Amino acid sequence: MTGNSEPQLPFTAVPFDACLGADVEGIDITAMDDTAFQFLAEALDTYHVIRLRGQKVSDPDLISFASKFGDLDPPGPSPYGRPIHPTHPELNVITNLKDEGGIPLGNLANAEAVWHADITCRAKPPKASALYAIEVPPEGGDTYFADMFAAYDALDDAIKQRIEGLKAIHDEAHNSVGMLRHGFEEVTDVRDTPGARHPLVRKHPKTGAKSLFLGRRPYSYIVGLDLDESEDLLDELWAHATQPQFTCGVQWRPGDLVMWDNLAVLHRRDSFDDSYRRVMHRAQIKGTEAIA
Q: Binding residues for Mn ion, per CB under 5 A?
A: 118, 176
| Residue 143 interacting partner from ligand OGA, Mn ion, none (CB closer than 5 to 8 Å by kind) | ligand OGA
Least separation in angstroms between residue 223's CB and Mn ion is 24
Q: Does 170 bind ligand OGA (CB under 6 A)?
A: no
Sign of CA dihedral 55, 59, 62, 68: negative
**Pairwise CA distance, residues 262 & 176, whole Å:** 14
Q: Write the Ramachandran bin of 288: left for phi over 0, alpha for psi from -120 to 50, otherwise beta.
A: alpha
CB nearer to ligand OGA: pick between 143 and 193: 143
Among 96, 176, 211, 242, binds ligand OGA (CB under 6 A): 176
Site for ligand OGA in 110-139 (CB under 6 A): 113, 118, 129, 131
Bridge partners (DSSP) listed for residue 111: none
Closer residue to ligand OGA, CB minimum distance, 48 or 282: 282
Alpha helices, DSSP H only, in 78-167?
A: 148-153, 157-163
Q: How far apart are CA 234 and CA 222, in angstroms?
A: 8
Q: Site for ligand OGA (CB under 6 A): which residue of 88, 198, 202, 282?
A: 282
Nearer to Mn ion, 13 or 90 (CB): 90
128 contacts 262 by C-beta, under 8 angstroms:
yes
CB 253, min distance to ligand OGA, A: 13
Judged by beta carbon, residue 51 or residue 282, the one nearer ligand OGA is 282
Per DSSP, the residues of 164-189 read TT-EEE---SB-TTSPBPTT----SS
Q: Among residues 36, 40, 280, 283, which is the contact residue for ligand OGA, using CB under 6 A?
A: 280
Pick the closer one to ligand OGA by CB: 113 or 263. 113
The reply on whether position 143 binds ligand OGA by CB under 6 A is yes
Binding residue for ligand OGA, selected from 94, 200, 212, 259, defined by CB under 6 A: 94
Residues 178-237 binding ligand OGA (CB under 6 A) are none
> DSSP for 177-245?
TSPBPTT----SSGGG--S-EEESEEE-TTT--EEE---BSTT-EETTS-HHHHHHHHHHHHHHHT-GG
CA angle (145, 201, 199) in 5-degree steps? 110
Q: In what order do the strands lie in the sheet with 221-222?
A: 197-199, 167-169, 221-222
Position among 269, 272, 285, 287 found at the interface with ligand OGA (CB under 6 A): 269
Q: Which does 280 bind (CB under 5 to 8 A by kind): Mn ion, ligand OGA, none?
A: ligand OGA
> Which residue ranges make up the site for ligand OGA (CB under 6 A)?
94, 108, 113, 118, 129, 131, 143, 176, 267, 269, 280, 282
